Chain A
Amino acid sequence: MATELNIPDTAAKAAEAAPDRMSLSMGPSHPSTHGVLRLQMELDGEILTKCDPVVGYLHRGDEKIAENMTYNQFVPYTDRLDYLAPLANNMAYAIAVEKLAGLEVPARCQAIRVITAEMARISSHLMGLGAFGLDVGAWTVLVHSLNQREHLYKLFEELTGARFTTSYTRIGGVSRDIPDGWLDRVGGFCDQFLPALEEILSLLTRNKIFLDRTVGVGVITKEDALAYGITGPNLRGSGIALDLRKDKPYSGYEQYEFDVPVGSKGDSYDRYLVRGEEMRQSVRIIRQVIAKFPGGDWYAKDARKIFAPPKDKILTSMEELIQNFMLVTEGPQMPAGEVYFEAENPKGILGFYVVSKGGGVPWRLKIRSPSFCNLSILPKICTGILISDVVTLLGSLDFVMGECDR
């Protein structure tokens, strides 16, 4: 693929060159570009002849910011990558840095992380489903799925103290253990969620209008999906059963049984079905985690240069006070080296590439964001479709610009 600079002027010049075409800028502020994506389109009537995604409106330089702070201080920034599933980002980042340190967290900590990551997956897919519904005109789907997400947010708040930007993990553990009875409430959520999910999906799955709008729209073939580096439900919708939770298990995913749903045609409808099924599978995983929830430590107790000691110890014991002081000022001490870790996030594969020269601050941190890679296929599949299909397509790709632009 030839590299093209998407400078707005090029689009204007192209429009001058083809006067029977209309150039239309969809976004960065548009109801269905899900944030600040901008599509510079060239239209022949209502049919797109060209579509250039313009990204970067939400660029904050997260990767550079990471070089100027300790490993733990960067956790809140990971919340703001895929802000619809912060817990999953927290976990991916923490595991990446732990891999650098060669640290293995206890089973209980892994279980907590799995349960939160799966809840984040449900929450993210709910939002994706609702926004997709909204894009094809089904308002009620959005409101019903937000209603379910609200239950999850209450559980997140109870666990982490925040509904949205959770910042839950620390290098070597999590910020706090689960509260009393929290697992029961998660189980209760799962019990009421499955019938509610079926009700929400039943509004769309067999709906003739929805089928007309999505079947065969925005087909991503297997070859294209692989060539453009598409990951997550979008890749599985194209029929490739790549799921890192199965293929390269981390955080104890190998203990849990779940299926990896795949689509057959790779159209918007398949991606919708895959997301629906993934929510059911997430519930299945959460139930298994709750059923055999391990006891023991919830953070790596022996990693004294990485994870802060308990608060009561800090206030009473000299050694722990010094340890905490060093952690806060110098950061968790990492060996020199470089590491790449990728996790199966709701939107796709989120990878962290960390280069360390020792000490508490990364020398370089690169983020491989799934939304960015998933959006890269837009110019290819947007050609020759209608404006309304672009909206369907964007909804079915389910991207987050905070992560794409990072």
Chain B
Amino acid sequence: MIPTVVNAMADFFFNLPPLVQGILKGLAVICVIFPIAGVCSMAERKVAAWVQDRPGPNRAIVPWFAWIPFLGRFLQRLGLFHVMADGGKMLFKEDSLPGHVRKAYFIFAPIAAMIPALTTVTVVPFGAYIAANGGIVPLALAPLDVGILAVFAVASLGVYSLILAGWASNSKYPALGSVRASAQLISYELSMTLSVLPVFLWINSPGMEASLGFARVVEFQSQPGFWGGMWFIFLMPVSAFIYMVALYAETNRQPFDTIESEADLVGSFHTEYGAFKWGLFFVAEYSHMIVGSAVFTLLFLGGWNPLPWVSLATWVGWVHDLTGWAWLVHPLAVGLFSIAIFLVKVLILIFVFMWVRWTVPRFRYDQVMKLGWQKLLPLAIGNLLFYAIAIALID
């Protein structure tokens, strides 16, 4: 019964015009990214509370929910309604526009922050299903062949929104913040890009069909055998480390959040912002975190493969053999499994982001720059050379 309905739905979807399909997929992804950003802010507060030995947000509740016997109390304790109240507050409170700002740019800056945040999501595959011919088909809005380039190119536009916000605010703390932002983000992009190059050198070794897409990287990590199924985090731990550090710096997270360091720069580039415009910066930051973690998962953690040396297809086969459930091998079920596995990995990475944030102090601005240029960049170059030579020798 259920498979027939699902099949009918799938058929209906695939018979829609491609444009409508694209719009529907886009809406679906946005509908996922926004709530995840919201849930991340809830998780941030709960993780902070957990690290700091306190209950965290647990008061707000909508009246009718209080009547639900167990679930209502649970959601209240979870702080779910705080997130909703926060979101509602940001939407409905007065969106003040200070008199001294450059208005058009001031309004445009948060929009410019959201554009790269949402655009990068489109090229990141988030799951896969097994087609009728047994091949793995990645799920992505736009499965580009230059995926990693597209992500880096678009994500680096994010710095413009910070510069613009700092400049348009026409105020001193935001100005200092945006100067820091432009220097820091550009410095760490170098190391970040260099750190992922070995991965693509490896999968594009001479004689193979070249690709810079994410799906190819995951496919490479799903091959049988010891070397085939090895995730890149084991093969290239230094790359993974550099990428992770650079990601923390790129997303302004502790210990590299000198851009937003509230202790000296008050609110930095968003000092003059409030209400929904501030909320957009906030969501953009979380979206960058999500996309950055997703890229890390795809490149180094095997994407949607459940375990190292166990690919999605193998795993589905095992469970199917064990239980004999036919619906397990249905493309839709496999797709949902792969998305779930992928999301779990991304959320674990985001948890690590939060864990680090609430544990360590913050670097000073010049120390961040020193670390980026004097330690991370030489390490990334050395790492790239090492793998380039290694690949040349192997071939």
Contacts and interface: CB of A to CB of B under 8 A. Distances in A.
Interface in A364-396: 386-391
Contacts of A144: 52-53
A210 B263 contact: no
Contacts of B362: 136-138, 209, 213
A241 B263 CA distance: 32
Given A31-B263, A136-B362, A140-B51, A212 B367 contact: yes
Interface stretch (B227-235, B252-260, B315-323): B252-260
Interface in B227-280: 254-255, 257-258, 261-266
A1 B360 CA distance: 40
B172 to A, nearest CB: 5
A46 interface: yes
A79 B57 CA distance: 33
- Candidate in A136, A137, A212, A391 with the most chain B CB atoms within 10 angstroms: A137
Interface string A11-42: 00000000000101000001110000000000
B378 interface: no
Query: Main SS of chain A's interface residues?
Result: helix
A46 B254 contact: no
Interface residues of B, number: 28
A134 interface: yes
A34 to B, nearest CB: 11
A143 interface: yes
A389 B264 CA distance: 9
B98 interface: no
A204 interface: yes
Contact of B360 (A134, A143, A207, A388): A207
B264 A388 contact: yes
B261 to A, nearest CB: 7
Interface string A246-288: 0000000000000000000000000000000000000000000
Interface of A: 22, 24, 30-32, 46, 133-140, 143-144, 147, 203-204, 207, 209-210, 212-213, 386-391
15 contacts: A31-B263, A136-B361, A137-B255, A137-B361, A139-B52, A140-B51, A140-B359, A143-B53, A204-B361, A209-B362, A212-B364, A212-B367, A213-B367, A386-B365, A388-B258
Given A24-B173, A24-B176, A209-B360, 14 more contacts: A32-B264, A137-B360, A138-B360, A138-B362, A140-B51, A143-B52, A143-B53, A147-B53, A212-B363, A212-B364, A212-B367, A386-B365, A387-B176, A388-B261
Interface of B: 48, 51-54, 172-173, 176, 254-255, 257-258, 261-266, 358-367
